[in-house]
A = this chain, B = another copy of it.
Amino acid sequence: MQKEVKRVLVISPHPDDETLGAGGAILKYLAEGAEVYVLEVAGHLPPLYTREDFDITVSEAKSAFEILGVTQFEFLEIPALMIDNQPRHEFNGKIANIVNDFAPHIVLCPFPDRHIDHRVVFESTLVATRPVGVGRNIEIVAAYEVLSETHWNAAHIEPNFTPNWLVDISDHIDKKLDALRCYKSQVSDFPGPRSIEAVEALAIFRGSQAGFAYGEGFHIVRKVS
């Protein structure tokens, strides 16, 4: 009996979130033979940014994807900070279409945090992954953290990130950091929340919570087995 190949859908609000939050898990799933699909929801687009801004991040994302080994991806091209400006049911439909088409077993999405786009993407992911239709085959829906938007949620008022799933990415940390380095327009020098050093430090901290060297933390919304 042949085991079905796992399909992993990573929903990323903007290029770089997928690597920051789940780059190690992506590498690990691919190494285990899974199929990974990255959906980039929004981006630095007019009217708040120029098309050139966006093109740079797309190009950086493609370099990062190459390092991660991601070959399946899509850019929805919704202007950043403006996802919430369109009717919610329309945006929900876009996310639902991808879930229906890809029929994932694992869905990784952003934690609802300081960045309004992350909240909207989280909520629409939750709607699209309800356990009905293809949603009944989803085994895990989990939210990843993004330095430092996730940790800028208001302490003890808004949801605060505490991972209940820790993935050992010790064998993948180097490639995760390499992929992140592709995002030259997004990565900052240390100290800075999106510096390579800060991302590596977070990986060590998450690892320390579970007894290994480098980790990624997730909040499991629903596991089904």
Question: Residues of A at under 8 Å CB distance from B?
Answer: 48, 81-82, 84-85, 87-89, 111-112, 114, 116, 122-123, 126-127, 130-132, 135-136, 143, 147-148, 151-152, 154-160, 162-168, 170, 190-193, 195, 197-198, 200-205, 207-213, 219-225
Contacts and interface: CB of A to CB of B under 8 A. Distances in A.
Nearest to A149: B130
A201 B212 CA distance: 14
> Which 7 pairs show the lowest CB-CB distances between chains A and B?
A131-B211, A201-B204, A191-B213, A156-B156, A155-B164, A160-B162, A201-B201
B143 A157 contact: yes
B221 A223 contact: no
B132 A211 contact: yes
Contact of A84 (B88, B143, B210): B88
A190 B213 contact: yes
A63 B145 CA distance: 38
21 contacts: A82-B89, A85-B87, A111-B157, A114-B126, A114-B130, A135-B211, A143-B154, A151-B208, A152-B209, A154-B221, A155-B156, A162-B162, A164-B164, A167-B225, A191-B204, A191-B208, A193-B208, A198-B205, A201-B201, A201-B204, A220-B223
A131 B197 CA distance: 18
Contacts of A190: 213
Copies per assembly: 6
Q: Which of A159, A191, A202 has the most CB of B within 10 A?
A: A191
Given A151-B208, A167-B224, A201-B201, 20 more contacts: A85-B88, A88-B116, A111-B157, A131-B152, A143-B157, A154-B221, A156-B159, A156-B164, A156-B219, A157-B221, A160-B160, A164-B221, A164-B222, A165-B225, A168-B224, A191-B207, A191-B213, A202-B205, A205-B205, A210-B222
A116 B224 CA distance: 24
